[in-house]
Each structure stands twice: as structure tokens, then as C-alpha cells.
Amino acid sequence: MSEPTLAEAPGRPGDRGTMDATTGIPPAVTEETETFWAAAREGRLVVEGCSSCGAESFPPRGICRSCRGRAMIPVEIAGRGVIYSCTVNYQRWLPDLEVPYAIVLVEFPGHPGVRVAGRLRGCPPEAAAIGMAVEVGFEPGPGGFAIPSFVAAG
Ligand SMILES: [Zn+2]
């Protein structure tokens, strides 16, 4: 299997964090989510936008949560996010899983309806706090997928 080429997190060149996130269950790619995973492999965060009403949503489901329209188009999100919620996982769900680590749920200014979950890396888990500014990056995940994660913006 070839190593996926991943973009580094903005502002933190060379920093992939101290943890290995490849332990876990690979995502099940569907018709609705394949655009997201393809963009992730290029280091880009892409969500769904409704071509009828403009509402954005994540995760992609192929249907607008606002108007039930099905004409969804990819919308790329750039720039900082803000932690909406966070938790620290201490449970070793799998034998090779490194714990503890923080999981954060992140909102993006100008993109209501979109919240993306991922690990917080580059700082101790207990540093995660609601309202903290973060930048999205991608790191190698299970099955060779690039999965979103976050680093403190600064
Ligand atoms: Zn809509």
C-alpha cells in the first residue's frame, strides 16, 4: 500500500502531532461521502452546500437538512474554526490506541450548519477548551484515509 500524500496543517509545518491516528476502523465510503474523502486526501476540507437554498451541512448525506433538496454541491472551507465542544478520551478502545487524546467538535465562522469532529493535536489533551481557535489539517488515519484533525491557531 502506498503512503498517502497529505498536506501539513497550516502554520505547523512538519508537525503531525505526537500520536499515531492510524489505529481504528476505516470509514465506510459512500456515494455521499466520497467527495469529502477525496478532498481530504488533498488536504482540503469540503462540506455539502445546497444549490437550492444555500444551506451547508456536514457530514454529507446527499440531502439538504434545511429544504430537503437533493442538488448538493461541494463547498470548500478555508480558515480557522472555533471549538464548539470537546471531550478527552481515556478509554483504550483498541489494543494499539494511544490515550488520552482530545476530540473536538469545531464550527467555522460563515459556515452555519457545519460542525466537524476530529482530534486536537500538537498540545496536551487537557488544553482543549470551548471557544479556542483552531486550524484544520489532515493526518493519516485507518485504512490509508486522510482524516481531519485540528491544531491550536496562533
Ligand atoms: Zn437547501
For residue 71, the CA-to-ligand 1 centroid distance in Å is 8
Degrees to nearest 5, angle at CA 21 with 6 and 129: 100
Record the cell numbers describing residue 154, joined without a space: 496562533
Q: What is the mean pLDDT of residues 53-68?
A: 96
For residue 23, the CA-to-ligand 1 centroid distance in Å is 36
How far is residue 149's CA from residue 154's CA, in Å, rounded to a whole number? 16
For residue 118, the CA-to-ligand 1 centroid distance in Å is 26
SS3 154: coil
Residue 142: beta bridge partners? none
Q: What is the mean pLDDT of residues 26-42?
A: 93
Tell me, what's the pLDDT at 92? 92
For residue 61, the CA-to-ligand 1 centroid distance in Å is 12
How far is residue 150's CA from residue 100's CA, in Å, rounded to a whole number? 16
Tell me, what's the pLDDT at 137? 94
For residue 35, the CA-to-ligand 1 centroid distance in Å is 18
pTM assigned to the model: 0.82
